[in-house]
Structure 1
Amino acid sequence: MKLSAMLPLALLAAACSEGGTEGNGAMTAERTGAPAPAPAVSAPAAEEPLDPPDPGEAGGLPNDRTPGSEAPFTPESAQGAANVLQNYYALIEQGDYEQAWALRSPSADGPSPEEFAASFDEYAEYHAQIGAPSDIEGAAGSLYVEVPVQTYGRMKDGKPFSSAGTVTLRRSNNIPGSTPEQRRWRIYTSG
Structure 2
Amino acid sequence: MKKIAAAVSLSLVAGCSQPASQNVTANTPVDEAPANVAAPQEAPLNPPAPGEPGGLPDDRTPISEGPIDPKSGQGAAQVVQSYFALAESGRAAEANKLWSDGAETLDLGQYKEVHANIGAPGGMEGAAGSSYVDVPVQLYGRKLDGKEFNARGTMTLRRVNDVPGSTDEQRKWHITKIELP
TM-score band w.r.t. shorter chain: 0.7 to 0.9
The alignment of Structure 1 onto Structure 2 pairs a total of residues equal to 150
* Shift in Å, 1:105: 0.6
What amino acid sits opposite 1:156 in the alignment?
Answer: L
Higher share of residues assigned helix: 1
Q: Percent identity?
A: 54
CA distance in 2 between partners of 1:138 and 1:69 (Å): 24
Match among 130, 133, 136 for residue 142 of structure 1: 130
* TM-score between the two structures when normalised by the length of structure 1: 0.71
* Shift in Å, 1:122: 2.4
**Structure 1: unaligned runs, 5 residues or longer:** 1-35
* Shift in Å, 1:136: 1.9
Indicate the residue corresponding to 1:167 in structure 2: 155
* Shift in Å, 1:48: 1.5
Q: How do 1:1-191 and structure 2 match up within 5 A?
A: 37-39=21-23, 44-107=39-102, 110=104, 119-191=107-179
* Shift in Å, 1:39: 4.9
Indicate the residue corresponding to 1:16 in structure 2: none
Indicate the residue corresponding to 1:8 in structure 2: none
CA distance in 2 between partners of 1:110 and 1:150 (Å): 19
CA distance in 2 between partners of 1:121 and 1:167 (Å): 18
* Shift in Å, 1:188: 1.2
**Structure 2: unaligned runs, 5 residues or longer:** 1-19, 25-32
SS at structure 1 position matched to 2:43: coil
Q: Which has the higher contact order (CA 8 A, sep 6+)?
A: 2
Is 2:122–2:135's contact at 8 Å kept on the other side of the alignment? yes
Over alpha carbons, which structure has the higher Rg? 1
RMSD: 2.3
What amino acid sits opposite 2:104 in the alignment?
Answer: G
